[in-house]
Amino acid sequence: MKDIDEKALKDLVRYFDRRKYSPDTKDRWGAIALNFISFLEQNGRTVDDIGDLLNSEGKVVGKEPFGAKEFLDTKTKFEASYMNYLCNVLKRFYTAWDKHFPIPNEEFPKAKKEPNRPMLTTEQLLKVAEEAKKLWIERSEIDKNDMIGLRDYCMILISLDCGARRHQISKLNVEYFDGKKGTLFIPLAKGGRDTTRNLSDVTKNVLTYYMQRRKMIETKDNAMFLMSDGVRISKSAMSERFKEIRERAGFLEKGVGFHAPRRGKSWRLKQANLSDEEINDVMGWKRGSKMSHIYGELDQGAVQEKAASLDDIFKNTKKEKEEPHS
């Protein structure tokens, strides 16, 4: 890689750090940046050659001769939704490099319609949790030292109770759980922010038992949830475990993943009459989300307690209003 491009990559990393993007986001965008820079160099260009020319008033007086549009032309096999995402990511790169992005927002590719994401109702989510509990008991009866079943049960309880993403659950460390207070620190994701969640009694009690067992595992990794080889659990492994348990519970529809508990959590908070601002605060969502607000306006402790008291999925099992299935 040429010196000018190495410097651009370092500038980009510093930009990511300033914006406090999650490690997962930095990894994904870093890979795209390397791909983009490699594309430029293969065509005899560098980062120094890209970007529209602006006059002193900030108006475009010269169009970028080669760069983003040509790079996007190599990605036409992808769906419009991904191309839109790619445009937004590239625009952030240009911002970090003090360049003017050549494609106006209104010209970003648009998906024809929102993707269909099948959901699970509260009753169905509880059935998945119950199936995870059964699997834990079955595995324990075969091998009393087995931790996989208990681990999976804990991860599913956290996903239901907190609406956490796979990335957030996989990044949990043992010190994030406070058994005395019954709270769990959830790290930020997708440009959002860190939150400390008040857990339901069910999740707190099971997690307390799990942590007692977790201490007996000899490993230098402080990850809360481990693979069978003793390393931090991966997102793909989490998806595989969730899929197996969901199918054991009788829900075979394709496309149901960890977004289902998160959507369910948001829906229940809405039914509990929390405002959009409070829901965003509870979930730790970034500014600009569908339920956006300016972070810091609300007291975290108070709103987390309110959310926990109004939404305990393991107690509120009465028949509810119609829930979205998709």
What's the CA gap between 31 and 27, in Å, rounded?
6
139 in the same domain as 256: yes
The answer on 237 and 102 residing in a single domain is: no
Does residue 7 sit in the same domain as residue 76? yes
List, in sequence order, the alpha helices (H) in 20-59. Answer: 23-42
Domain interval for residue 61: 3-107
Residue 71 lies in a domain: yes
Name the DSSP letter for residue 73.
Answer: H
Note whether 198 and 50 are same-domain residues: no
- Does the structure show a pLDDT above 70 at 24? yes
pLDDT of 292: 37
More confident call, 73 vs 80:
73
Alpha-carbon gap, residue 119 to 125, rounded angstroms: 9
Q: How many domains does the chain have?
A: 2
- Residue that terminates a domain, selected from 52, 81, 107: 107
* Percentage of residues of the chain with pLDDT beyond 70: 89
Decide if 182 is inside a domain: yes
- Residue 228 CB-half CA count within 13 A: 6
Query: What CA–CA distance (Å, rounded) separates 193 from 22?
Result: 9
Same domain? For 166 and 303 the reply is yes
Residue 148 lies in a domain: yes
126 shares a domain with 57: no
- Please state the rounded mean pLDDT for residues 175-183: 97
155, 213: one domain: yes
Which of these, 135, 130, 161, 143, lies nearest to 241 by C-alpha position? 135
- State the helix-helix crossing angle for 122-142 and 259-271, rounded to 10 degrees: 130
* Predicted local confidence at residue 37, as pLDDT: 95
Dihedral sign for Cα 60, 66, 68, 72, please.
positive
What's the CA gap between 247 and 257, in Å, rounded? 11
Whether pLDDT at 190 is above 80: no
State pLDDT tens for residues 258-271: 888 988 898 888 88
- How does residue 6 score in pLDDT terms, banded at 50, 70 and 90? very high
- Read off the pTM: 0.63
55 and 149 housed in the same domain: no
- Domain annotation covers residue 242: yes
Average pLDDT over the chain, rounded to an integer? 86
Could you tell me if residue 324 is inside a domain? no
Q: Within this chain, do residues 103 and 230 fall inside the same structural domain, yes or no?
A: no
Judged against a pLDDT cut of 60, whether residue 205 lies above it is answered with yes
Q: Say whether pLDDT at 85 is over 80.
A: yes
- Average pLDDT over every residue of 22-43: 91
Q: What is the dihedral of CA 133, 310, 283, 273, to 10 degrees?
A: 130
Asked, for residue 187, whether it belongs to a domain, the answer is: yes
Which of 107, 136, 158 delimits the end of a domain?
A: 107
> Do 34 and 153 share a structural domain?
no
Of the residues 107, 137, 170, the one at which a domain ends: 107
Best CA proximity match to 256, nearest among 325, 322, 311: 325
Alpha-carbon distance of 159 to 305, in angstroms, equals 18
Residue 315 lies in a domain: no
Check which CATH number belongs to the domain holding 173 and give it.
1.10.443.10
Both 102 and 126 in one domain: the answer is: no
pLDDT digits (tens, 9 = 90+) for 108-151: 888 665 556 677 889 999 999 999 999 999 999 999 999 999 99
* Burial (CB count within 10 angstroms: exposed 0-12, middle 13-18, buried 19+), residue 211: middle
Under DSSP, the state recorded for 185 is E
What is the predicted pLDDT for the residue at 210?
Answer: 97
CB-based contact 144:207 (threshold 8 Å):
no
Q: Check whether residue 97 and residue 180 sit in a common domain.
A: no
Q: Is the pLDDT of residue 323 over 90?
A: no
pLDDT at position 289 is 53
pLDDT at 300 over 70: no
- Let me know: does 52 contact 100? Beta carbons within 8 Å: yes
Is residue 113 situated within a structural domain?
no
Beta bridge partners of 54: 60
